[in-house]
Structure 1
Amino acid sequence: MSEKRNQHVVPYKDGWAVKGAGAERATATFTTKQPAVDKAREISRNQGTELLVHGKTGQIQSKDSHGKDGFPPKG
């Protein structure tokens, strides 16, 4: 079974890539951002890991946890 890694959506060549944390190669590439986010979210949900979406500059824009959150929201 493959190692569970947080999934990152990052700028890639002329589009966007889904990459597991620490991976050199992209899991998948897309010409636009939204399909990359959708694919990364699917992988993250299946693996119970975090999804980190980066902007064009590489800075993290948003995070979404699909794992066991040690600090779940109250309410």
Structure 2
Amino acid sequence: MDNYHITKSGDKWTLTKEGNERPSKTAETKQEIIDKTREFMNDKTGSVKIHKEDGKFQEERTYHRKDDPSDSKG
């Protein structure tokens, strides 16, 4: 499963695959990058870690939900 991170970079929000330097997607706002990520991950399996503006971890989402290895409801 691939791992991705949503982070703030300068004045943009980015979606970057772990190990890559260049972002897969960029957006002006956090909500916009989350929406773009949902579309981008439509045909992929992976984990997306969403970070706050200060870089601290906020939440993790698994795409597709059925592929979540955790038995938790979260």
Same fold (TM over 0.5): yes
RMSD: 1.9
Report deviation, 1:29: 1.4
Q: Among 10, 15, 19, which residue is 1:22 paired with?
A: 19
Which one of 34, 55, 67 corresponds to residue 37 of structure 1?
A: 34
CA–CA separation in structure 2 for the residues paired with 1:18 and 1:35: 11
| 1:3-53 Cα distance to aligned partner (Å, 9 max, x none) | x62221110111211111121001121111111111122223421111111
Displacement over 3 Å in runs of 4+? none
Number of aligned residues: 71
Contact 1:6-1:20 within 8 A present in 2 as well: yes
Name the SS for the 2:6 alignment partner. Answer: strand
Aligned to 1:12: 9
Listed as ranges, the gaps of 5+ residues in structure 2 are none
Residue identity over aligned pairs, in percent, reads 28
Structure with greater proportional strand content = 2
The amino acid of 2:14's aligned partner reads A
Larger radius of gyration between Structure 1 and Structure 2: 1
